[in-house]
């Protein structure tokens, strides 16, 4: 008998935000979808929410963009100065947030807490401390889902934050089960904290075929300023330096298509505008068409205040001819999973997680290694030519394209599906309830 036949626990999600198209929000909603399909109830607490109001608990200071939280972040991680007043403020907000978590728990009565990245990245130190103390004081069973850790980002290196980072990012407690999205992060977590971990990569519901172009999105190219004949190269990422957008622009420049455009779907958000400005200059330098359409992408279809269509990310995938994913680093890679799901050819940089967790599974992609190609100008030119030739050969061979797409889709179903997630989450519940 499956544990789902014996238990239908309720789950309370907590994060800084459940809103929009960031990876944490998207994966959280997928988790919730699977859990509710099993007859479990879910609810959400965050500083920004686009979830059903009837199961949502809004706490503005939980958001990393709240004015008081931003001031603390500036002091701790930018100025790297910590006065007694800063320490007192952190403790004060921690207590406020802990009371909010208690109220959230009282309102919805969830049995298992799921913390989405708020115990991994210290954008909101008081929130992480509050969640940690709530877990310890209540001994509530907790699944801490870590998408990326502070030690993976240079900007979170600060000597004045060491006590907070050790205690809450992440905390180690018998009631906390840690989930990571790649094996490298899991091994480092174990090395740093001694905690055990479970690997659950990003997922897609492969048993449901991807949607096709319909009356709403049929004019997407026109709506974003492209001709129907334009070869649409999609990079479904944010505009941040680790996403390697320069490499995608160079690829578009070298393709055998007189009309090609690179379309980027997400904005820079919390990592500043300096890289965006650099990209804009690079576009002018090499004369490539770039469309950043973050203002036209939403979680749901609709219209903005000017009557323009708002598309979903999946609408754009349907029109894409090629996906580029030249990231230097990724926690796992939603773009990779979604590209496989939509049966699109993908050009990918062999970032460390791809090499460790994805490549060994046999996915058929056009890959390159940015670390090797940067050694000399000659190697850059030689390998770029090889990559471009592979792309053009694949795009001009419809039979091979179909074979590659089917192979990748079936591998995705095996390794990156809702069914895989069900098995993993079931094991976590068995760890808590017993077999």
**Domain of residue 255, CATH code:** 3.40.50.2000
Q: Using pLDDT thresholds of 50, 70 and 90, give the confidence band for residue 306.
A: very high
pLDDT at 375 over 50: no
Whether 215 is in a domain gets the answer: no
- What average pLDDT does range 234-249 have in this prediction? 87
In a domain, 192, yes or no: yes
426 and 411 in a common domain = no
Confidence of residue 257 (pLDDT cuts 50, 70, 90): confident
Residue 389 pLDDT grade (very low, low, confident, very high; cuts 50, 70, 90): confident
Q: Is residue 289 part of a domain?
A: yes
* 249 shares a domain with 156: no
Tell me, yes or no, whether 167 and 100 share the same domain: yes
Residues 135 and 240 in one domain: no
Q: How many domains are contained in the chain?
A: 2
- Please report the pLDDT score of residue 251 as a whole number: 87
Which residue would you say has higher pLDDT here, 379 or 155? 155
DSSP string for 310-373 = EB-HHHHHHH-SEEEE--S--SS-HHHHHHHHTT--EEEE--HHIIIIIGGGT---EEE-HHHH
Q: Is residue 410 part of a domain?
A: yes
Q: In terms of residue numbers, what domain contains 401? A: 220-415
Q: Does 106 share its domain with 33?
A: yes
> Is 279's pLDDT higher than 80?
yes
What is the model's pLDDT at position 213? 96
Q: What is the mean pLDDT of the chain?
A: 91
From residue 299, alpha-carbon distances to 19, 39, 60, 270, 330 in Å are 8, 24, 21, 19, 22
pLDDT exceeds cutoff 50 at 371:
no
Query: What's the mean pLDDT in 227-251?
Result: 89
In a domain, 350, yes or no: yes
CB 347 within 8 A of CB 391: yes
**One domain, residues 288 and 379:** yes
Please check whether residues 424 and 396 belong to one and the same domain. Answer: no
Q: Domain check: are 195 and 58 in the same one?
A: yes
**How does DSSP classify residue 38?**
T
Task: Judge if 271 and 386 occupy the same domain.
Answer: yes
Residue pLDDT, tens place only, 196-215: 999 999 999 999 999 999 99
**pLDDT value of position 250:** 86
Closest CA relative to residue 206, chosen from 340, 329, 363: 340
Residues 302 and 163 in one domain: no
> 90 and 168 in one domain?
yes
- Helix (H/G/I), strand (E/B), else coil: 180: strand
pLDDT of residue 270: 54
Structure token pair of residue 191: 């090395």
Average pLDDT score over residue span 373-396: 64
156 and 250 in one domain?
no
> Average pLDDT, stretch 309-332?
91
49 phi/psi in degrees, rounded to 5? -140, 140
pLDDT-derived band at 377 (thresholds 50, 70, 90) equals very low
335 contacts 320 by C-beta, under 8 angstroms: no
Is there a domain that residue 191 lies in?
Answer: yes
Residue 214 domain-assigned (yes or no): no
Q: 55-81 b/e with 16+ CB inside 10 Å = b?
A: bbbbbebbbbbbeebeebbebbbeeee
- Of residues 101 and 395, more confidence is placed in 101
Residue 80, domain member (yes or no):
yes
């Amino acid at each position: 008998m499956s544990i789902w036949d014996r238990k239908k626990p309720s789950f309370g999600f907590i994060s800084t935000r459940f809103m929009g198209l960031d990876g944490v929000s998207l994966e959280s909603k997928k988790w919730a979808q699977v859990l509710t399909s099993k007859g479990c109830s879910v609810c959400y607490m965050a500083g920004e929410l686009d979830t059903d109001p009837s199961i949502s608990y809004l706490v503005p200071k939980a958001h990393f963009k709240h004015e008081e939280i931003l001031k603390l972040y500036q002091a701790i991680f930018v100025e790297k100065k910590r006065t007694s007043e800063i320490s007192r403020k952190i403790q004060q907000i921690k207590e406020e947030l802990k009371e909010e978590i208690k109220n959230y728990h009282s309102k919805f009565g969830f049995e298992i807490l799921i913390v989405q990245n708020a115990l991994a990245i210290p954008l909101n130190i008081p929130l992480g401390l509050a969640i940690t103390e709530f877990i310890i004081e209540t001994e509530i069973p907790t699944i801490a889902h870590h998408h990326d850790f502070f030690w993976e980002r240079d900007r979170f290196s600060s000597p004045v934050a060491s006590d907070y980072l050790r205690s809450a990012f992440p905390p180690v407690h018998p009631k906390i089960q840690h989930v990571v999205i790649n094996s490298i992060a899991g091994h480092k977590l174990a090395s740093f904290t001694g905690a055990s971990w479970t690997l659950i990569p990003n997922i897609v519901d492969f048993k449901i075929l991807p949607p096709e172009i319909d009356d709403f999105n049929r004019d997407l190219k026109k709506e974003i300023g492209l001709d129907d004949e334009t070869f649409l190269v999609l990079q479904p990422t944010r505009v941040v330096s680790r996403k390697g957008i320069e490499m995608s622009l160079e690829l578009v420049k070298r393709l055998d298509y007189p009309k090609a455009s690179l379309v980027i779907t997400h904005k820079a958000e919390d990592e500043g505008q300096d890289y965006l400005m650099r990209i804009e200059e690079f576009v002018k330098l090499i004369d490539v068409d770039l469309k950043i359409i973050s203002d036209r992408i939403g979680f749901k279809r609709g219209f903005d205040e000017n009557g323009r269509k708002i598309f979903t990310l999946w609408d754009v995938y349907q029109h894409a001819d090629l996906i580029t994913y030249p990231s230097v680093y990724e926690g796992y890679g939603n773009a990779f999973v979604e590209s496989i799901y939509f049966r699109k050819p993908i050009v990918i940089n062999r970032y460390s997680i791809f090499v460790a967790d994805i490549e060994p599974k046999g996915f058929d992609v056009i890959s390159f290694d940015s670390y090797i190609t940067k050694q000399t100008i000659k190697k850059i030119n030689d390998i770029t030519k090889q990559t471009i030739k592979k792309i053009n050969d694949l795009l001009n061979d419809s039979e091979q394209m179909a074979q590659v797409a089917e192979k990748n889709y079936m591998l995705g179903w095996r390794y990156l599906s809702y069914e895989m997630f069900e098995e993993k989450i079931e094991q976590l519940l068995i760890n808590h309830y017993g077999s």
